[in-house]
A and B are shown apart, each in its own frame.
Chain A
Amino acid sequence: MAPVPPDFEDTAPGDARVDVGSTWRGQIVNSNTVGTETHPLKVGEVSTQTGSKETNGTQTDQEGGTASSNTKVQTAALASFVKSVEGMVQSELTKAMEEAEVLEPFTRAADDEQEPATCIYYLSPFQPDDTAADLNATSSQLNKHRLVVTCVSWSCTGQTIGAAFGRYDVEGWCTYPGALCTWNLGRETMSTSRPDHRIDTDTCLMSCAFHPAHPALVAGGTFNGELYVWDLSLEGDPQRGRSDVLLDVRHMEPIINITWQYSLTDAARYGTKDKSYRLVTLGADGKVLTWMWHKLEAPIFGYQLLFPQPGIDRRFVWGGACMAFQREPRGASAGQHGGSAAGSGAASANGKDAKGGKDGKGGKGGAKDVGSGGSGVAAGEAAGTFLEFSRAVAAGERIELRTPVREAGYQTHAGAVFGLDCSPFQRELFLSSSTDGSVRLYSSLKMQPLLSLEPTSSYLFAVHWSPFRPMVFAAAAADGCVYVYDLMRRHEVIRPVLTLDTNGMRKPVYALAFNPRKPDMLATGDPTGIQIWRLPSSLTAVRRGEEAALRKVAMAEDVIEMRREERERGHH
């Protein structure tokens, strides 16, 4: 009999205890054990056999001795035939071999087949020593500060690779020591785990750059805005100069980019190759300062990047994120490396400030490419201005920095712009890469990009033109891949021709550098170390008419559209 369901009105609030009977326990199905069984299998055996067997044989009779003589004639004929054609076949075999070698890159290009690049070195000071000499590895071999490669640079000879180690995720004061490590790849006893030089800095090292003419001079910029110049050929302490940290005009944020710029004035004044270059540094605080590397006490000139805002009269400091200078096209003036005297640069700043942009959130929608006229060492600036400036800086006077921004109307990226590079072959062309995952090709004369490519959906940290192939460039992404493009390819310009997976762990690639001397070498830097790649010949050998094709690209409004028209014309 089911219990009477409790009526709540019955109980007095004093003894508020109500028992609610289970509604499901009574419904449990009763179970019984039942057995079942099948009948045993019936098996039968039957055999069968044929009754009889028979064997038959057949044979032909041999017919005299003609056969043997016939084969003799045949072998003789065969031998003479083989002999007569042998020479021809041999020459064709060699010819085919030679032809195949010559035609190889073209057949690949025709098939759109891409040879892979190979990683020839993996260099990192933070890996177990491969020579395994000392078991009690020093603490410097463990990456306890989790430093990443922030910048890579090749020396002017293309022999030495330098890497700056620092961190991008530092908030507030930087308490992590940074380092500059260099490896000479030409040395026979090179160790991938032990750099030839290791220079420790007090704070994270954020950028480095080798001198364009002196193979041992290297400049480095730290997180707190200090600029160093080291000479690796010096015995003992390699430091040659260091900027004054207490000066009024200095970088107050990390130095993002260092560029050596050729200066006609200095070349005339000093007459030596290494002193003909000045240093131009970009800080995350939006300052662009020019230095003489042998007199680092004070900058000789400076600029502040101020950005006009539509509708407002005021201009804003957004900070700097990357910088690149226009380069004199090859062959125009042989003596000039890199920067032109009247060089105008293109500097770029991202959304709010450099630090905010790093995590990709701060830079939302605010990126702007800015062609800055005359940053660096403009010929129009009289030498007197520089002197005045440096005297004023030394005297501690307050100086209003000028803004070099000439053009801020370039179509903006959707994210912060971290990579910028001007074409070494065509003055007005430059590339930008952004955290919105796109690489864009701009002409400095046009506001709209000529080409917009999206290799990945992750951030892009760096983009560089190949110094040898006018139509080739590479972009480094946060997904651990480097995407190489070749605009010379007839088909599918919008797809990277080569993707280098640098670490296989999807760790971001922050830095990228083509070797200035060896066309087939490329260096990439990721959180674990640097990789040296050997590029396939299809990406290093200049194609016929490539520079002309680049000029054509520079003239175009839209590269994809231009290509389509070309192809259609080709079909008719």
Chain B
Amino acid sequence: MVDVAAVDETFKRLQSHKGVLGIIVINADGIAIRTTFDNDLTVQYAALVSHFTVKARSAVKKLDGDNDLKFLRIRSKKHEIMIAPEFEKSHEYYLVVVQDPSRDS
């Protein structure tokens, strides 16, 4: 239970940043295990982002076998989508943060 509280704390800290719209943690199967978005948006993000991250990672690894993907930031017209992945076999997760930098709150 201490661990759950720690995760919640982290979520709160991230959420307090300017312009953060939502946070999702996705597991290796592309299933969201923790989210602040509503259901539809979460499912969409989870499916699309995990695909994208796997593709990006394979690109990095194919260029150099010893290299690995550390972080992904997608700047779109409206948002910044940040993806922090972890590819360790036992705990493969992606943390997704969506931010709108032009928003004040």
* A residues adjacent to B (C-beta < 8 A): 74-86, 88-90, 92-94, 96-97, 99-101, 104
Residues on A with C-beta less than 8 A from B4 are 75, 79
Give residues of chain B (1-56) contacting chain A, Cβ–Cβ below 8 Å: 3-4, 6-7, 10-11, 13-14, 17-20, 25, 33-34
Least CB distance, B58 to chain A, in whole angstroms = 20
> Would B3 and A89 count as touching, CB distance under 8 A?
no
> Would B10 and A96 count as touching, CB distance under 8 A?
no
Query: Of the candidates B6, B34, B95, which one forms a contact with A85 in the assembled complex, judged by CB atoms under 8 Å apart?
Result: B95
> Would A100 and B102 count as touching, CB distance under 8 A?
yes
Chosen A-B contacts, 17 in total, with CB atoms closer than 8 Å, are: A78-B93, A79-B7, A81-B25, A81-B95, A89-B14, A89-B95, A90-B17, A92-B71, A93-B14, A93-B97, A93-B99, A96-B82, A97-B18, A97-B19, A97-B99, A99-B101, A100-B80
Least CB distance, B100 to chain A, in whole angstroms = 9
Residues on B with C-beta less than 8 A from A77 are 90-91, 93
Chain A residue nearest to B17 in the complex (CB): A93
Least CB distance, B93 to chain A, in whole angstroms = 5
Cβ of B68 within 8 Å of any chain A Cβ, yes or no, is no
A86 with B6, Cβ < 8 A, contacts A93-B82, A96-B80, A99-B101 known: no
Cβ of B84 within 8 Å of any chain A Cβ, yes or no, is yes
Least CB distance, B5 to chain A, in whole angstroms = 9
Query: Of the candidates A76, A81, A96, which one forms a contact with B101 in the assembled complex, judged by CB atoms under 8 Å apart?
Result: A96
Least CB distance, A89 to chain B, in whole angstroms = 5
Least CB distance, A78 to chain B, in whole angstroms = 6
Least CB distance, B53 to chain A, in whole angstroms = 13
Cα–Cα, bound, A46→B90 (Å): 64
Cα–Cα, bound, A76→B3 (Å): 6
Chain B residue nearest to A100 in the complex (CB): B101
> Would A86 and B3 count as touching, CB distance under 8 A?
no
A86 with B86, Cβ < 8 A, contacts A78-B7, A96-B80, A100-B102 known: no
Cβ of B73 within 8 Å of any chain A Cβ, yes or no, is yes
> Would A86 and B101 count as touching, CB distance under 8 A?
no
A85 with B91, Cβ < 8 A, contacts A78-B33, A93-B97, A100-B102 known: no
Cα–Cα, bound, A88→B73 (Å): 11
> Would A86 and B10 count as touching, CB distance under 8 A?
yes
> Would A92 and B6 count as touching, CB distance under 8 A?
no
Residues on A with C-beta less than 8 A from B13 are 86, 90
Question: How many B residues touch A, CB cutoff 8 Å?
Answer: 31
Cα–Cα, bound, A79→B7 (Å): 5
Cα–Cα, bound, A79→B33 (Å): 12
Chain B residue nearest to A98 in the complex (CB): B101
Cα–Cα, bound, A96→B100 (Å): 9
Residues on B with C-beta less than 8 A from A94 are 17
Cα–Cα, bound, A78→B89 (Å): 13
> Would A83 and B19 count as touching, CB distance under 8 A?
no
Residues on B with C-beta less than 8 A from A88 are 70-71, 84
> Would A89 and B84 count as touching, CB distance under 8 A?
yes
Least CB distance, A231 to chain B, in whole angstroms = 46
> Would B82 and A82 count as touching, CB distance under 8 A?
no
Cα–Cα, bound, A507→B88 (Å): 70
Chain A residue nearest to B34 in the complex (CB): A78
> Would B82 and A92 count as touching, CB distance under 8 A?
yes
A75, A89, A97: residue with the most chain B Cβ atoms closer than 10 Å: A89
A84 with B102, Cβ < 8 A, contacts A77-B91, A93-B20 known: no
Residues on B with C-beta less than 8 A from A100 are 80, 101-102
> Would A96 and B99 count as touching, CB distance under 8 A?
yes
> Would B7 and A82 count as touching, CB distance under 8 A?
yes
Least CB distance, A465 to chain B, in whole angstroms = 31
A75 with B3, Cβ < 8 A, contacts A88-B71, A89-B14, A90-B14 known: yes
A86 with B14, Cβ < 8 A, contacts A99-B101, A100-B101 known: yes
A89 with B97, Cβ < 8 A, contacts A81-B91, A94-B17 known: yes
A81 with B86, Cβ < 8 A, contacts A75-B7, A92-B73 known: yes
Least CB distance, A80 to chain B, in whole angstroms = 7
Residues on B with C-beta less than 8 A from A84 are 86
Residues on B with C-beta less than 8 A from A79 are 3-4, 6-7
Cα–Cα, bound, A457→B47 (Å): 55
Query: Of the candidates B18, B25, B102, which one forms a contact with A82 in the assembled complex, judged by CB atoms under 8 Å apart?
Result: B25
Query: Of the candidates B6, B20, B73, which one forms a contact with A83 in the assembled complex, judged by CB atoms under 8 Å apart?
Result: B6
Residues on A with C-beta less than 8 A from B3 are 75-76, 78-79
Residues on B with C-beta less than 8 A from A76 are 3
Residues on A with C-beta less than 8 A from B10 are 82-83, 86
Cα–Cα, bound, A77→B73 (Å): 24
